[in-house]
Every structure is written in C-alpha cells, then in structure tokens.
Amino acid sequence: MKRNTRRGWIGLVSLVLMAVAGGLAALVVFAGTSGGTLTATSYADVIRFEAGGAVESLQITIFDLSGRKLWDSGVVSSRITDWDRRNEFGERLAYGAYLYSAQGWNAQGDSVFQKNGKLALLPGDKVQLQAAPTASETSVPATEEKPPYAPMAYNATNFYISGQLGVGTDAPAHKVDVIQNYNGYTRMRIENTSTSENVISGFIVSSGSGQAFSVEKYGSGFNQFTWSGMSLADMAMFRSDSGVSGLIFTTGGAAPLIFASSDTECMRVAPSGNVGIGTTNPVATLQVQGDEANLLALYDSANPVDIKFKVAKTGNVYADGSYYSPTTAVQAGSADIAERINTSEWVEPGNVVEIDSEHPGFFRKASSRYSTKVAGIISTSPGVVLGNDFDATEDDWEDNRPVLAIAGRVPLQVTTENGPIQIGDLLVSSSTLGVAMKGDPEACVGAVVGKALEPLEEGEGTIVVQVMLR
C-alpha cells in the first residue's frame, strides 16, 4: 500500500451541539475527494466509522479543539473501524465538540477520499459529524490567476500537499520530483544532527509496495545499505555492525545469495550455506558443475598457463608433484596404502590373508605355515584407500569392505610359534588362522608378507611391520 501523508483538520471551527433523541444515530454521509463516502454510527459501546465506494483501507484521527491528537485508528485494512470514545490514555471523552480527520485508500493504495470536520459527542451516546467548510471560489480576486500547483494545507503538527511536489522544477511529473544539475554531486541529503547513539540517521526511500532503498546509520555501532522487498525473503543487505567483524552481505529469510554477470547466474550461496558453481541446487558444501574440460584447475601464479592441479570433467585428478597425507599424530596403521577387497569370511585388522582358491576373486585368513597364497595384511587405518565402490543411485561413497595393505607400515598379529621375533625378521603365515610368525629365510620364498619393525619375545601380540610380498 502507498504510504500517503495523513491529513489533519484545516482550521478550528465552533460547533453547536445538537440534541438527538433515541436509539442508534446513523450520521450524514459525506462524499470524499474521489467519490468515497464516510458514515459514523453510534452504538452502546463504540462509534463505528464506515467508508463506502472503492475504499479498502481507512484511517480515522480524533483531535480536541486545540488540535491535540486524542485518538488514531492507524491504517486498518478494512472500510470499517470502531472507536470506544476513549483517548490515548484510556479516558472516556466527555460530551462536547471535537475534530476529526479521515482518509481512505483503494486496493491499489491510491487515495479515494480525505475528510476533515467536526464531531459532536451528544448525551445519550449520540454522535454527529459535520464536514469542514471549503473555501469559496469568490474568495479569489477576479484579476488573480490561480497557480497551477497542487493545494497545500497545514495544522499545528502536519504539513501536506495533495498533488505533486517539485524541488528544482516547476513541472513535477511524480509525487515528488527532485531535479539537480547533472554535474552536481548530491541529489538529496537527509541527516540527523542528534548526538544520541541510538538515533537513526541516513537516507531512506520507500513505496507502498514494500520495496525500499536505504542507507542508514544507528549511532556508531551499526551501518547498513539495504535493498528490501515486501518480506524478509526479498531483502538484501550490506552492513557492518559491532556484533560481527567485517562486512556482511546477506539476504533475509530463505533467499539464496546469487552472483551473476550479464543477468546470467555464475555462483550462488544456498540458504543451507552450500556453494554452487554451475548449479542452482548445490547439495554439497562446494558443488562445481561445468561444461568445460576441467571442473577445477589451479595454476602457477608465476606462469598462468601452467596447471599444477586439476579435476577433469571425466573425474580424473591430475597433480604436478608428489602426494602427501600427513596426520596430526603418526600412529600405527596410518602410513600405508590399501585397497578394498572381497573376503569369503570375517577378517580383522592385522590379519594375514591369502587368496581363496575355492572362491575366485575372494580372500580369506591364511590357514597354513609358509602359505604361498598370501596376499597381504588387513590394514588398521590406511592413509590412502583405493578401489572404493560408488553407488551412483544413492550418491554414496560408503564402502565397508575390508582394506588390504599393499604398501607402507601396518600393525600385524604375530606369534612366536617359530621363535622370538627380532627387528628385521621376515614374517610368514603360521599355523594359527590369520596370524604371522618369523620365517626361515631359506624356506620363505614366495611366502613373505612383511618385515618386522618391532620385536616380540614370547607368545602372541601385535607389532608394526613393513609391508612386502616376496
């Protein structure tokens, strides 16, 4: 709805109270400036003001004879509003003469009528309205030409123009036209000279449809540049406040933050915080979709055509250099490369596994001494895992199959079945399922799974070994 200046009554005119007998008092209907009408009806508890015609929103204000406001309905989205005869302090008004101001708007927010006049509260809870007199055309000298500007009026607290206002022009084409020389720097300046920290100062332009442009300052702790719509979902804001360090660029509600070039979207930040490049519905923290050869490419700053890292559209990853996977604390099992395997039985980290000859493509725990079918050691916590399955239907990389260490250092379950294990001993499968032992160098060709990096004097335990198949 358009926010028009609310009109007060023009002058103070004496009123002769009229005695009206009996029941409800429906008052004289007055026509508005654009064909709207207004009636007032007295009930036992309230006075009902009702507008006719195309009125969809209404505002009624009551004043005493000095022009002091006693009651204001505010703008109500209805053609009817009720007043309980009380002032802003809740005091019921005495019988006598008062002033009223009324204004109505249609569904488009245009003013349908505005009325100013006298209101009488009479004994028996009666009420009567009388429209304010208008200036006679004969009051204008015959030799004086009427100016083409819109009429103006004022009372003790308000000033309004019912037509169009021009600043820097005598032919305004809009409600307010501010025109200045093109080379000037300031078109309009509105400022607050108060020194209070909580006083708002700045520049605000708004319309009844809800769009707004504003530059505001709340004391020294809050600054903002805002473009807003009818709801939080339409609002955008640049701001810097004392609660958050730095510049904030935000939208309200569930609206995304969109970056575009030539009206073509390039990137967006979804309400969830996910960032999408080449997609309007990012489902990951960062989702990149593109039609070019590379989805992601990083270049040498000294040589912008030298790609150091890239992810091709095919999904291949290229790096011009070594791959490192450091950990915050080096632990047993964190420095190996492993791959997913299929097993025909339950296996545990640290087990020695061999090829399952009864189930091609599967592995099982090593079950005999010096087995030449040994394939390696089940990893505990690999640094790199190869062969993960990807479920495209579920967009899921979850793969719970065991991982077989193919290089690096891992924990291994061992026994001293063939004697104490010393650092550097070659390790082979033992008679215990999935457990390794020290091997005889002359008898372990083709059966070695690793080399001991820690000793074990007696019994069974777990030691760190260097993975090696020989």
| Interval 126-146: pLDDT, tens | 888 776 554 343 333 333 333
**456: which 2 tokens?**
């074990």
Distances (CA, A) of 470 to 352, 374, 427: 14, 10, 10
Local confidence band at 110 (pLDDT 50, 70, 90 cut-offs): confident
Alpha carbons 317 and 294: distance in angstroms, whole number: 10
Alpha carbons 29 and 46: distance in angstroms, whole number: 18
The domain total for the chain is: 4
Distances (CA, A) of 345 to 218, 353, 381, 461: 70, 10, 20, 22
E strand map for 418-459: 426-429, 436-438, 450-452
**What integer pLDDT is reported at residue 260 of this predicted model?**
84
**Structural domain includes residue 221:** yes
> How much of the chain is helix, strand and coil, in % rounded to 5?
0, 45, 55
One domain for residues 86 and 35: yes
Distances (CA, A) of 365 to 20, 345, 357, 465: 109, 8, 12, 18
One domain for residues 91 and 73: yes
Share of the chain above pLDDT 70, in %: 64
Sign of the torsion angle spanned by Cα atoms 164, 167, 169, 170: positive
Residue 20: CB atoms within 10 A of its CB come to: 16
One domain for residues 240 and 270: no
Q: Using alpha carbons, select from 408, 412, 416, 417 the residue that is nearest to residue 365.
A: 412
One domain for residues 100 and 212: no
Question: Which residue has tokens 């090696």?
Answer: 468
**Torsion, CA 236, CA 242, CA 246, CA 248, rounded to 10:** -10
**Structural domain includes residue 323:** no
Check residues 315 and 143 and name the one with the higher pLDDT: 315
**What integer pLDDT is reported at residue 218 of this predicted model?**
47
Q: Which of 85, 114, 131 is the last residue of a domain?
A: 131
Q: Which of 50-59, 151-160, 315-324 has the lowest mean pLDDT?
A: 151-160
Q: Which of 81, 103, 131 is the last residue of a domain?
A: 131
One domain for residues 242 and 268: no
Separation of CA 156 from chain center: 45
Does pLDDT of 423 surpass 70?
yes
Q: Which of 58-62, 86-90, 332-336, 414-418 has the lowest mean pLDDT?
A: 332-336
One domain for residues 348 and 422: yes
Is 232 in a helix, a strand, or coil?
A: helix
Local confidence band at 424 (pLDDT 50, 70, 90 cut-offs): very high
**Structural domain includes residue 237:** yes
**Strands 111-122 and 212-218, bridge-based pairing:** unpaired
**Structural domain includes residue 278:** yes
One domain for residues 236 and 281: no
Alpha carbons 74 and 103: distance in angstroms, whole number: 10
**187: which 2 tokens?**
């078109």
Which of 38-42, 157-161, 195-199, 287-291 tops mean pLDDT?
38-42
Does pLDDT of 403 surpass 80?
yes
**Strands 275-277 and 286-288, bridge-based pairing:** parallel
What is the span of the domain harbouring residue 33? 25-131
Q: Which of 257-271, 358-372, 405-419 has the lowest mean pLDDT?
A: 257-271
Alpha carbons 359 and 342: distance in angstroms, whole number: 10
Which of 45-59, 239-253, 290-304 tops mean pLDDT?
45-59
pLDDT digits (tens, 9 = 90+) for 164-208: 777 777 777 777 777 665 444 455 666 555 555 444 445 555 544
**What integer pLDDT is reported at residue 396 of this predicted model?**
54
**Structural domain includes residue 9:** no
Let me know the angle formed at the C-alpha of 205 by 201 and 209, rounded to the nearest 5 degrees. 135
One domain for residues 123 and 220: no
CATH number for the domain harbouring residue 404:
2.40.300.10
**Structural domain includes residue 293:** no
Does pLDDT of 244 surpass 90?
no
One domain for residues 274 and 374: no
Share of the chain above pLDDT 90, in %: 25
Strand order in the sheet with 126-131: 69-72, 57-63, 96-105, 111-122, 126-131
**250: which 2 tokens?**
């935000």
Check residues 288 and 71 and name the one with the higher pLDDT: 71
One domain for residues 124 and 205: no
**Structural domain includes residue 309:** no
**What integer pLDDT is reported at residue 147 of this predicted model?**
38
One domain for residues 284 and 357: no
